Amino acid sequence: MITAERKPMEEIIGSVSPYRRILLVGCNECVTVCAAGGRKEVGLLASALKMHFAKEGNPVEIEEVTLERQCDPEYVEELLPRMDQADAVLSMACGCGAQEVARRYKEKPVFPAVNTRFMGASERQGVWAERCAGCGNCVLGITAGVCPIARCSKQLLNGPCGGSTSGKCEVDPDIDCAWQLIWDRLKALGMQERYEDNIPAKDWRTGRGGGPRRIVREDLAS
Amino acid sequence: METFEPVIVAFCCHYCAYTAADMAGSMRLHYPPNVKIIRVPCSGKVDAIHIMKALEKGADGVIVAGCLEGDCHFKNGNIRAAHRVDSVRKILGDIGMGGDRVEMFTMSAGMGERFALVATEFTEKICKLGANPVKSGTDMGMHQAAC
Amino acid sequence: MKTESTLEKILAAGHLAVTSECGPPRGALPNKVKEKAELLRGCVDGINVTDNQTAMVRMSSLAACIIIQNMGLNPILQMVSRDRNRLAMQSDIIGAYSHGVDTMLCLSGDHPRFGDHPMAANVHDIDSIQMVDMVRNMRDEGKFQGGEKIDGSPKMFIGAAANPFADPFELRVARLAKKVKAGVDFIQTQCIFNVDKFEKWMEGVRERGLHEKVAIMAGITPMKSVGMARYMKNKVPGMDVPDEVVQRMAGVPKEKQSEEGIKICVETIQRLKEVEGVRGFHIMAIEWEQKVPEIVERAGLLPRPVV
Amino acid sequence: MAGIRSALDLAEAGRDVVLMDKAYSIGGLMTSLDRTFPTNNCDLCTLSPHLSESGRDLRIELMPLSRLDDVQGEAGEFKATVTSEPRYIDLAKCTACGECYRAFPEAVRFTPGLDHRAPTCMRYPQATPYAFSIDMERCDNIDELVRICPASAILPEDTRKTRTLDVGSIILAPGADLFNPRVLDTYQYGVLPDVVTSLDYERILSASGPTKGELLRPSNGKSPKKIAWIQCVGSRGVQKGLVSYCSSACCMYALKEAMVTRERFGGEVETTIFYMDMRTAGKDYETYLERARNEYGVRLVRSRPHTVEMEPSTGELVLSYFTYDGKVALTERFDMVVLTVGFRIGAELTEMASRLGIELNQHNFAQTGTFNPVATSRPGIYVSGLFESPKDIPATVVQASAAACCAAADLSPLRVVSRKEEELLPERDVEGEEPRIGVFVCDCGFNIGSVVNVAEIAQSMSRLPQVEVSEVVGHGCSRESIEHIQKTIRDRKLNRVVMGACSPRTHETLFQDMLRKAGINKYLLEIANLRDQDAWVHSDRPRDASAKADELMRMAVATVRHARPLTDYHLAMNKDVLVVGGGVAGMSASLSLADMGYRVFLVERSGKLGGVARNVHRTLRGEDVQAGIDALIDRTEHHDRIQVLKNAMIVDHSGMAGMFKTGIQVAPQMFYREIKHGITILATGALPNRPKEYLLGRHKAVVTQLDLDGLLARDPEAARGWNDVVMIQCVGSRVPENPNCSRVCCQAAVKNALRIRELNPDACIYVLYRDMRTAGFDEDYFRKAREQGIIFTPYDLDAKPEVEPSGDAVSVTFTDPILRRRFRLDADCLALSTGFIADEESTEDLGAIFKLPRTPDGYFLEEHVKLRPVDLPIPGFFVAGTAHAPKTIRESIAQGQAVAGRAQTLLARDVINLGAAVAQVDGTKCAACLICVRACPFGVPFINEKGYSEIDPSKCHGCGVCASECPAKAIQLMQFEDDQIMAKLEGLLERIS
């Protein structure tokens, strides 16, 4: 899942302050699941902004709408009827959603209300942690199902650095040492010898190194 | 300007706080009439949005009142409510309203005095804080609009 | 002989090698480099020149190495995978060798979080073991990592670091083995205070015969004060300072503590000389270079053999 | 407590009940307690929600100020003569406004108003008359009194009345008195103001007590720094004025008072308890004791305090005592001394007993037997609570339900007439209609009308859109008004109703029924609380009160527009019962239910019924256990409504209360069969503990008390040869592995010791114990044992006895605390009191299969320790016997009957009403984020196969946490939907912003 967090109120206020009629657009996918940009957060932000500007003496109109998925043109199309009453769009979706809205409605300024953080999993209610860096060439098969690229602070591919202390990373004791996790799993799986293989330098072309990526499924694209 | 009479919304859980308020009644205790109670099954039912909307619509203060810790009829609704109130206070701080207009209290069904005391003290506090700026703001806004 | 490196020659001749280090200045004053390096003349076989150590910007290791090289001393180019991608690394390695720098140490480097540029991007295009492999390829196969041939390949004597004390301990020998497999020539270890644990690690190393494939140089650091001992014990990740060391430092009056620190590290060296597979010592006298000659002397490692 | 519980169980089971109380309001002792152990919560607050449900049954007729004079006839058709003292107040009219009380405080009685927990008791109007009562003797001006009552509810001519009632069975739950320590000159109660009884102390702690919950010394109003508790005051004694039995509950409540004191007043107050034996034998009570000692720092001194005197100069109390380790005449100073007093049966009860012809034991408690623990000597008359024997609240509640069960069995088979459904108009469909709102404002006589200008309110409401009718209706809850409102609803085709009245807590059900009977859905109602939360609290500023009333009403009107017809969730009830476990508890439950006419499947893991009790031969009181067990087994196996399945194990389970499905496999072929049932009762028992200690199992002279009981029955001769016999208590109990007390061992040890003494007068018998826990009347046998020269020697965990083999005997070494030296002697028999240990294996499996929680030590965890001791947290599940916690045969049987008593409340219904306040998910909005799944305190929501969250209305408790946490706003709680709450805010704030 893509995770995000609401931007600091001050920044959001700053970005929309020139506008009086704001269309606040949430998304019912990832950002709902990570409680950053679903209907509820949209409602809270709308209320907060209305109060702020009312307090300042120049009230704003805020229209709330939460799309099923803000990164699909068909859903984004649903905003059309509302657009001409809006001076600006404030998006609570991840960067993908905000950009899709901007792409579709060229004449409208679009501002992000959340910071898109990472691809992660929820560890428990209210806690999400990074799990994947989208390198485009998955190594989990040789790292016992724990990704050192996403989860080692130095993305080391050949084992723990000298800073690994009792299972934690030197960078922050709240971070598990990815290589400790890998090693524990290898032991559990009886595959210790796997560790001995030197993993060669990674080809980053499948990742960001190769520039913006896209996937084309010929059979579907046609 | 004549004396400021704040409007205060109190979300009270059915099993403790609301009962305590009734209790204050049967004990004939006095507290300011500014406090208007909205009954909810559990303080855990009070949505952050409800609190925000109350202020947005012009309430000067909001009380969320639940059971004593450990007494929640639904296990931990009151604790969740307390966390939620904290987060709302933070948002209010961020938009320059100040978080003090919202507060969580806990009490048992029998604590009529405590309810009356809470209502009285909170009302005094809000009087000190003055009117909800959202209202004055709008006035001022219209004023500006006028001239 | 794979290279012209003095360090390689010393080790090949079976002597206990000695290296020390010199942190480049945080500015463009060549003399600062010269002063520090001068202190070490005649008492070490190589001078590690750190690469933005603790993630603080300093004069580039390469530039400082050239200055030291020109003084007729033997610099060891340190290179971390934190700051450069593989293109920058390879160009710097060739450049260094073109100036006669023939010994280097491959590291991953401290995380920017600890330095004065925590906002910096954390490159790690390749890791230290992949770097070792890359440098060996450049030297032995004469090829860039990309596969193209190098016209005049850099004959680097390749070192790497090892920390016998970090967790998981059981992985520490294996990790050395991977470096050996990648083709590392020598190893400088993390500062050793817990000698027992180090010996335990060496046992593991010998069991796998690694000590015959790589020259292991024991890392030694003199402690100036009990404060420093405590700091290293509690604050520096992967550092293992046993309580008795701290107590011993604490046991003597303030003014005597630096002397006690020197004593400890001399004793450590003496004890480690006896450990099979220890082929030399790397003395890291952080901002205390002037003490290195005394330590080397009192440890009976002078004069340095000429090869 | 006991009376209320029995009455409610029976009423819920569809029986008509007359609940008599000699007092003018009910609740008994418990209403004057502050908080109760072991939860230290205000338990009536927790209880009341459950009670309000049953309040809808109008089957309980309350007769306060009444006494039972005479009972003629046989079980099933008694004629009971009852006399009621005059109350001088018309219950139908009195609104408890309190005018009379203000005018004639000395003549008017109204405990509820003074007791802070009373409103929660008033929650169900028919459960306690929410009304005053008058003591006419003390009223000097009757005319004035009559005049002052705004509801004209005073009946000066009210007189004593005598009625004869036809009843099928009778339950006596008259409670008991507390011992008054005035008779003991040594403690100077009544002389020294700072010497108080435990009940006085409860009142001091109580928020509504004389000090409003402040802890103050009665003598000087200063807060005490050192408080002492003296245990067993008036109990466990033989001197005149004392009683010999143990009052059972006192140890726990003294601990509770000390803990609450430490909790509330922190380190400043030192608390010390002077005790003989700490009798914390109930479920998890031992851990409670540990918490008191270790977490709260309550000091415990085993000792016998003899006098309390006052140091005149300082006003301190000097307490003199001697300890059991031989130290004599110690003294210590305190600011307050609390006398923990026990229970007594007063003359009133002994007279009643003789009037009714029921036998009492030598202590004047009702005589009962192990195999019918709540039956008196007179068939059809049952007893529960303190009148049966001294006990704490959980035991009382258990007996109350057991009594309810036995009483029901005597009544003619039940035809359930669900009175709510009787002769109702069909519900009018209001979907799609514009709201047509009727507003009715009560003046509630004086209560609202005198403060709030109700006419004006009605006026201003009438101006609001969609309001069809708006009028003042006097006492809205009076029969006339209700009929008037119903007529108006019908005539004016109203489809929404707003009541300006008193608290919905007390009157919602009443007004809901009113709507329903007027032919519209009962949830189209909104109540504005103009009395308890406006008129009563703002009587000092009427104008503001009126303004507030206006706003409250606007809120209600705005909200009611959004009200929609809701249907209560109902569930067809399967009336068969599954009982798991064929021990005494399981058999008793099965027989009780089968006798009531329900079909029972009794599943037993082993090949035999009877459980652990088969190995017990006699009770402490000498009753023949085996005969009793055989009778039980015989009746169970031959009862035509009980199907016994032996060698059977539970393998799977699904469904909910009223429609369970459970799969079992039966040996030897292990064929599978599925049982459909409405109720599940767990009576899986516990295991006799056999820890590897003191050579148990490795030396033939070492046995458990259970072994010994068998041995003495089988081969009494053996005992004749013994010279020295040693018994060690608490072996494998009250230790980290098994932290709680096994409850049965102390009396078992006394029982076996006495039996050996009987067989072999010369044997020396030593009992090494930590605390002797012979609660209640068992205390008599403990004393008898001491009188007969059996030696009881305490030991500490840090100086445990040591045992090693010595030929056919074992040598036992232990410390004698008085002589302070180690003793060593060779015992021909060493009996270890090993007690019970939870049957981990079966409770773990069943816990997993039924999804039921367990205590850390592996027993099933009941829904509420005190108030729902045999209900399990999942509706439709009950627990009885040692699967709940270690207990005696007698207690297990009582629990077996109690679960039957509780089960009948569900079984009597054809449908179960689950109410309408449940959460509903809008699948189109749901993002399946799991937040509700994780947030629900009861684990109800799940992501269904369609991929969105689903909430089973029959499991939802209606707290709304999921609704308020849902990030997609996909969940709404019926009756409290967001638009309704927003409407309230609008109604209040529309004129502001």
Residue D855 resides in a domain = yes
- Closest CA relative to residue D685, chosen from D616, D782, D762: D616
Q: How many CB pairs under 8 A join A and D?
A: 39
Does residue D557 share a domain with residue D467? yes
Whether ipTM exceeds 0.85: yes
pLDDT (average), residues D111-123: 33
Above 50 in pLDDT, residue C53?
yes
Q: Which of C163, C166, C174 sits opposite A196 (nearest CB)?
A: C174
Q: Summarize pLDDT for D195-241 with one digit per residue, the tens.
A: 999 988 887 877 656 676 678 888 888 889 999 999 999 888 887 77
**Would you state the pLDDT for residue D722?**
93
Q: Do A162 and C168 touch (CB under 8 A)?
A: no
Residue C106 resides in a domain = yes
What DSSP character marks residue C141? I
Does residue D531 share a domain with residue D587? no
| CATH code assigned at D961 | 3.30.70.20
Q: Which of D119, D959, D976 sits opposite B77 (nearest CB)?
A: D959
Q: Summarize pLDDT for D168-204 with one digit per residue, the tens.
A: 999 999 888 889 898 888 899 988 999 999 988 887 8
Residue A126 resides in a domain = no
Q: Do B95 and A47 touch (CB under 8 A)?
A: no
H or E segment and range at residue D980: helix D978-989
Residue A127 resides in a domain = no
Does residue D355 share a domain with residue D483? no
Q: Do D968 and A38 touch (CB under 8 A)?
A: yes
pLDDT band at B2 (very low <50, low <70, confident <90, very high): low
pLDDT (average), residues D632-650: 94
Q: Find the domain containing C168 and state its range.
A: 6-298
Chain B environment of D539 (Cβ under 8 Å): 28, 30
- Closest CA relative to residue D41, chosen from A42, A172, C33, B15: B15
Does residue D907 share a domain with residue D934? no
Residue C303 resides in a domain = no
Q: Find the domain containing A99 and state its range.
A: 2-118
Q: How far is D934 from chain A (nearest CA, A)?
A: 7
Last residue of a domain, one of D836, D867, D885: D836
Q: How far is D924 from chain A (nearest CA, A)?
A: 9
DSSP letter for each residue of D355-421: HHT--B-TTSSBP-BTTBTTB-SSTTEEE-GGGTS---HHHHHHHHHHHHHHHHHHSPPP----GGG
| CATH code assigned at C17 | 3.20.20.220
**CA atoms of D782 and C174, how far apart (whole Å):** 71
pLDDT band at D126 (very low <50, low <70, confident <90, very high): very low
Residue C79 resides in a domain = yes
Burial class (CB in 10 A: 0-12, 13-18, 19+), A66: buried
Q: Do B113 and D46 touch (CB under 8 A)?
A: no
Residue D985 resides in a domain = no
**CA atoms of A36 and A95, how far apart (whole Å):** 13
Contact D26, D1 (CB under 8 A): no
Burial class (CB in 10 A: 0-12, 13-18, 19+), D637: middle
Between residues D153 and B114, which one has the greater pLDDT?
A: B114
DSSP letter for each residue of D527-594: EEE-IIIIITT-TT-HHHHHHHHHHHHHHHHHHHHT-------EEEPP--EEEE--BHHHHHHHHHHH
- Of chain B, the end-to-end C-alpha distance in Å amounts to 21
Does residue D148 share a domain with residue D8? yes
Q: Do A55 and B96 touch (CB under 8 A)?
A: yes
pLDDT band at D581 (very low <50, low <70, confident <90, very high): very high
Between residues B136 and A151, which one has the greater pLDDT?
A: A151
Residue A50 resides in a domain = yes
Domains in chain B: ranges and CATH: 8-146 (3.40.50)
Backbone φ and ψ for C130, nearest 5 degrees, come out as: -65, -30
pLDDT (average), residues C301-305: 94
Above 90 in pLDDT, residue D63?
no
List of chain A residues with pLDDT < 70 = none
Residue D397 resides in a domain = yes
Above 80 in pLDDT, residue C290?
yes
Residue C25: is the preceding peptide bond cis (ω within 30°)?
no
For chain B positions 56-95, those within 8 Å of chain D (CB to CB) are 56-59, 67, 70-71, 73-77, 80, 84
**Would you state the pLDDT for residue D115?**
35
Residue D681: alpha-carbon gap to chain centroid: 19
Q: Which of D207, D964, D988 sits opposite B7 (nearest CB)?
A: D988
Last residue of a domain, one of D315, D344, D373: D344
Q: Summarize pLDDT for C126-166 with one digit per residue, the tens.
A: 999 999 999 999 999 999 999 999 999 999 999 999 999 99
Q: Which of B48, B95, B137 sits opposite A9 (nearest CB)?
A: B95
**Would you state the pLDDT for residue D479?**
74
**Would you state the pLDDT for residue D905?**
86
Would residue D689 be called left, alpha or beta, if left means φ above 0 and alpha means ψ between -120 and 50 degrees?
beta
> What value does the CA radius of gyration of chain C take, rounded to a whole number of Å?
18
Residue A123 resides in a domain = no
Instruction: Tally the domains of chain C.
Output: 1
Residue A209 resides in a domain = no
Chain A environment of D930 (Cβ under 8 Å): 33, 122
**A139 vs D: CB within 8 A:** no
Q: Do B95 and A57 touch (CB under 8 A)?
A: no
Does residue D711 share a domain with residue D658? no
Q: Summarize pLDDT for D934-956 with one digit per residue, the tens.
A: 999 888 999 999 999 999 987 88
Backbone φ and ψ for D329, nearest 5 degrees, come out as: 45, 55
Which amino acid, one-letter code, is at D982?
Answer: M
Q: Determine what percent of chain D is predicted with pLDDT higher than 70.
A: 91
Chain C environment of A172 (Cβ under 8 Å): 113
Selected for mutation to probe chain B from A12, A40, A45, A51 (highest B CB count within 10 Å) is: A51
Chain C environment of A157 (Cβ under 8 Å): 127, 129-130
Task: Identify which of B87-101, D155-169, D796-810 has the greatest average pLDDT.
Answer: B87-101
Above 70 in pLDDT, residue D706?
yes
Q: Closest-CA residue in chain B for D551?
A: B36
Touch between chain A and chain D: 3 or more Cβ pairs under 8 Å: yes
pLDDT (average), residues D620-649: 93
Q: How far is D943 from chain A (nearest CA, A)?
A: 14
| CATH code assigned at D599 | 3.50.50.60
Residue D937 resides in a domain = yes
Chain D environment of A122 (Cβ under 8 Å): 930
Longest CA span, chain A: 69
Q: Summarize pLDDT for D245-295 with one digit per residue, the tens.
A: 999 989 998 998 898 888 777 778 899 999 999 999 888 888 889 888 888
Q: Summarize pLDDT for D377-412 with one digit per residue, the tens.
A: 999 999 999 999 999 888 888 999 999 999 988 887
Selected for mutation to probe chain D from B26, B43, B75, B132 (highest D CB count within 10 Å) is: B26
**DSSP helix/strand/coil, D246:** coil
Above 60 in pLDDT, residue D607?
yes
Instruction: Tally the domains of chain D.
Output: 6
For chain B positions 104-133, those within 8 Å of chain A (CB to CB) are 133
Residue A211 resides in a domain = no
Q: Which of A10, A55, A57 sits opposite B144 (nearest CB)?
A: A57
Does residue A114 share a domain with residue A17? yes
**Would you state the pLDDT for residue D327?**
66
Residues contacting D68, CB < 8 A, separation 6+: D20, D80, D81, D82, D170, D352, D355, D356
The HSE-up count of residue D382 (CA atoms within 13 Å, CB side) is: 31
Chain D environment of B135 (Cβ under 8 Å): 992-993
**Would you state the pLDDT for residue B143?**
33
- Closest CA relative to residue D135, chosen from D100, D161, D177: D100
The pTM of this model reads: 0.68
Residue C103 resides in a domain = yes
Does residue D606 share a domain with residue D623? yes
3-state secondary structure C84-106: CCHHHHHHHHHHHHHCCCCEEEE
Q: Do B44 and D42 touch (CB under 8 A)?
A: no
Q: Do A47 and B144 touch (CB under 8 A)?
A: no
Does residue D906 share a domain with residue D867? yes
Other beta carbons within 10 angstroms of residue A166's beta carbon come to 10
Residue D756 resides in a domain = yes
Chain C environment of A164 (Cβ under 8 Å): 166-168, 237-238
Q: How far is A136 from chain B (nearest CA, A)?
A: 38
DSSP letter for each residue of C36-95: HHHHHTTT-SEEEE-SSGGG---S-HHHHHHHHHHTT--EEEEEETTT--HHHHHHHHHH
Q: Closest-CA residue in chain A for D926?
A: A28
Q: Do C163 and A162 touch (CB under 8 A)?
A: yes
Residue C1 resides in a domain = no
Residue A213 resides in a domain = no
pLDDT band at C66 (very low <50, low <70, confident <90, very high): very high
Q: Summarize pLDDT for B74-84 with one digit per residue, the tens.
A: 878 999 999 99
**Would you state the pLDDT for residue D420?**
47
Q: Closest-CA residue in chain C for A200?
A: C130
**Nearest 5°: CA angle at D267, between D266 and D270?**
110
| CATH code assigned at D537 | 3.40.50
**A39 vs D: CB within 8 A:** yes
Q: Do D988 and B21 touch (CB under 8 A)?
A: no
**D966 vs A: CB within 8 A:** yes
Above 90 in pLDDT, residue D93?
no
Contact D876, D657 (CB under 8 A): yes
**Would you state the pLDDT for residue D61?**
77
Q: Do C166 and A172 touch (CB under 8 A)?
A: no
Q: Do A38 and D969 touch (CB under 8 A)?
A: yes
pLDDT band at D31 (very low <50, low <70, confident <90, very high): low
**DSSP helix/strand/coil, D456:** helix
What DSSP character marks residue C139? I
Does residue D832 share a domain with residue D845? no
Q: Summarize pLDDT for D965-990 with one digit per residue, the tens.
A: 999 999 999 999 999 999 999 999 98
| CATH code assigned at A110 | 3.40.50.2300
Q: How far is C13 from chain A (nearest CA, A)?
A: 31
Q: Do A154 and C81 touch (CB under 8 A)?
A: yes
Q: Summarize pLDDT for B59-76 with one digit per residue, the tens.
A: 999 999 998 887 677 878
Q: Give chains near D: 3+ CB pairs under 8 A.
A: A, B
Instruction: Tally the domains of chain A.
Output: 2
Chain A environment of D971 (Cβ under 8 Å): none
**DSSP helix/strand/coil, A109:** coil
Q: Find the domain containing D602 and state its range.
A: 577-685+839-912
Q: Summarize pLDDT for D866-880 with one digit per residue, the tens.
A: 778 898 877 899 999
Does residue A109 share a domain with residue A45? yes
Residue with tokens 């009957």: D897
**A95 vs D: CB within 8 A:** no
Chain C environment of A170 (Cβ under 8 Å): 111, 237-238
**B38 vs A: CB within 8 A:** no
Residue A130: alpha-carbon gap to chain centroid: 10
Q: Do B110 and D208 touch (CB under 8 A)?
A: yes
